A = this chain, B = another copy of it.
Amino acid sequence: MADSAKPVSKRDSRREAAVAVEETQAVQLGELSDLLGYVLKRAQLKVFEDFLRCVAPLQLTPAQFSVLLLLDANPGRNQTEIANTLGILRPNFVSLLDSLESRELCTRVRSANDRRSHILMLTEKGKGVLARAKKLVVSKHEARLNELLGPDGREALLAMLTKIAEEF
């Protein structure tokens, strides 16, 4: 019992730990590394983080980018339709749109047919920003994923995730 009294310095006792292996060793993930949900969320956070970095010059979040993409591909739709396809609840979609509109990236236009609904359209500035954002996403963000997984790996990953998103 040479070191029963001495509390054993907690910082740098990775010398010859006499009694037991109990020092600054990594926490074991254990079965957590096999939990698909856990790894899935971790990966998602990383991907979003990188997305934000890559598209930072344009100050666009993933959600904002997805709205611009949808407006470009679906001109003439109203807020409810766009929000629904993105899985965003209408009340929460309002402020999102407010920010985009205040930056003059899109506009709400009262529909002539149904004066309740707002037709959403990209402005010219919005189209420009979207085009530049697309280039950044493809050339930086997705390119890095391609580099990490390989083109076919990325394809396979996308296919499986799509399957989960749609059929699970």
What residues of chain A have their CB less than 8 Å away from a CB belonging to chain B?
7-8, 10, 22, 26-48, 50-51, 62, 66, 69-70, 72-74, 76-77, 81-82, 84-85, 87, 113-114, 134, 137, 141-142, 144-145, 148-149, 153-154, 156-158, 160-165, 167-168
> Apart from A26-B85, A144-B168, what 16 extra A-B contacts exist at CB < 8 Å?
A27-B70, A30-B70, A31-B69, A31-B134, A32-B73, A33-B162, A34-B158, A39-B162, A41-B44, A41-B48, A41-B62, A42-B87, A43-B165, A145-B168, A156-B156, A156-B160
- Quick one: closest B residue to A8, CB to CB? B113
Contacts of A47 in B (CB 8 A): 36-37, 40, 164, 168
Contacts of A36 in B (CB 8 A): 47, 142, 145, 154, 157-158, 161
- Quick one: closest B residue to A46, CB to CB? B168
Main secondary structure of the interface of A (DSSP, over half): helix
Q: How many copies does the complex hold?
A: 2
Contacts of A46 in B (CB 8 A): 164-165, 168
CA distance A167 to B39 in the complex (A): 13
